[in-house]
Amino acid sequence: MVDWKEAPAPDTGVIEELARKAIAGLPPEFAGPAAQVVLRIEELASDEFLDELDIDDPLELTGLYDGVPMTEKSSSDPQHFPDTVWLFRRAILDEWAARGDVTLGALVAHVVIHEFAHHFGWSDEDIATIDKWWE
């Protein structure tokens, strides 16, 4: 067991490791394409993201998909930036602490799956088959 009196808060490397584990755990038909999406871990969402989403408190945004969903892509449309899944460490840790009833790995996996749901164009039913959080 971790002695939290002596241990630092999980850093961005820990969040990334948990996120990559969640991506690798996706069903095979999604894990490969998901590995092609850029994964970025930041402390908090940028003011630009917050303004775009009309969010005042950066601790309310744990993750964000920035890209064109696969269901809307066309091979003839140029793509000027890579699809990216953003995870925001401090917001994730804040939610984890507030909940107190889930592991950090389970919460990160939930956020990752939610963001990849946007990328793949999944319905709520699709998400529920992959992320048991919804049960």
Q: Is the dihedral of CA 36, 75, 124, 95 positive or negative?
A: positive
**Residue 90 exposed, middle or buried by CB count within 10 Å (0-12, 13-18, 19+):** middle
For residue 109, give the nearest of 128, 86, 133 by alpha carbon: 133
Lowest mean pLDDT among 17-21, 65-69, 91-95: 65-69
Average pLDDT, the chain: 88
pTM of the model: 0.86
